[in-house]
């Protein structure tokens, strides 16, 4: 499993996950939408932590910068 996520991609995912968490915790987001977006936020945090997005792999997408 080779990392395929760049720093900006990872930061954006964490910011989106934090935004969803705040919306859920403040009660602005609830019900089924909160559950679905909460799970998606958890996936975003997990993939950001490991630097690998499984959805990128089949399409050979990488947001990492090439180092020489």
34-52 pLDDT, tens digit per residue, is: 999 999 999 999 999 999 9
- Model pLDDT, residue 1: 84
- Model pLDDT, residue 67: 66
The domain locations on the chain are 7-54
Dihedral of CA 13/18/23/25: which sign?
positive
The yes-or-no verdict on residue 23 having pLDDT over 80 is yes
- Model pLDDT, residue 66: 77
Dihedral of CA 27/32/36/37: which sign?
negative
What spatial distance separates the first Cα and last Cα of the chain, rounded to whole Å?
Answer: 20
Q: What pTM did the predictor assign?
A: 0.88
The yes-or-no verdict on residue 58 having pLDDT over 60 is yes
Mean pLDDT of the chain: 95
């Amino acid at each position: 499993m080779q990392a395929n996520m760049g720093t900006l991609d990872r930061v954006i995912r964490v910011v989106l996950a934090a935004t969803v968490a705040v919306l859920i915790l403040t009660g602005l987001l609830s019900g089924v939408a909160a559950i679905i977006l909460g799970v998606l936020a958890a996936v975003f945090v997990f993939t950001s932590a490991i630097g690998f997005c499984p959805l990128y792999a089949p399409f050979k997408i990488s947001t990492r910068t090439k180092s020489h």
